[in-house]
Amino acid sequence: MTAQEHPFPRVELLMNTFADWLRHRRELSEIRQMDTADFDRIAGDLRVSPSVLDTLVRQGPHAADELPKMLKVLGIDEADLARTQPLVLRDMERVCALCANKRECDRDLAAGTAAEHYEGYCLNAPTIDSLERPVKQ
């Protein structure tokens, strides 16, 4: 893409961020308009409590964006994990979405130090450590 196609990349980023925020607000509004029985049924179908589902919805669609990055850094194939252990991956996504250590995780991922430090803050560390990984040579 040329500079003429995207003359103001920061403005475009801000507009896209704002559009994502508005979309999320609309989704929250739709969820809040559901009756309690439907919401509870959906939570049950997903095998989470209604309060956890409410928190996940409030976190938004990017709440677990760190997980694929962390798996890649650690040499774990996300697609393979999704194919062989989909429930484990889904639980890891839930744990990541609810994590309170996003800032530390994002910083380590950006700095390239996540593999050395994730066990100190990542609530998925025990699960990650139990997964089979390729042997480094």
My answer on whether 74 and 97 are in the same domain is yes
Asked if residue 4 has pLDDT above 60, the reply is: no
My answer on whether 110 and 132 are in the same domain is yes
| 43 within a domain of the structure (yes/no) | yes
Q: What is the pTM (predicted TM-score) of this model?
A: 0.66
My answer on whether 33 and 53 are in the same domain is yes
Q: Where in the sequence is the domain holding 75, given as residue range(s)?
A: 62-137
My answer on whether 54 and 71 are in the same domain is no
My answer on whether 114 and 124 are in the same domain is yes
| 46 within a domain of the structure (yes/no) | yes
The per-residue pLDDT for 27 is 73
| 1 within a domain of the structure (yes/no) | no
Q: Tens digits of per-residue pLDDT, 20-45? A: 767 777 777 777 777 888 878 888 88
**Whose CA is closest to 56, among 41, 43, 67?**
43
Q: Tens digits of per-residue pLDDT, 54-112? A: 877 777 778 889 999 999 999 999 999 999 999 999 899 989 998 999 999 999 999 99
| 92 within a domain of the structure (yes/no) | yes
**Whose CA is closest to 65, among 5, 106, 18, 13?**
106
Q: Tens digits of per-residue pLDDT, 8-23? A: 777 777 777 767 767 7
Q: How many domains does the chain have?
A: 2
My answer on whether 49 and 67 are in the same domain is no
Greater confidence (63 vs 4) lies with 63
| 68 within a domain of the structure (yes/no) | yes
* Amino acid symbol at 2: T
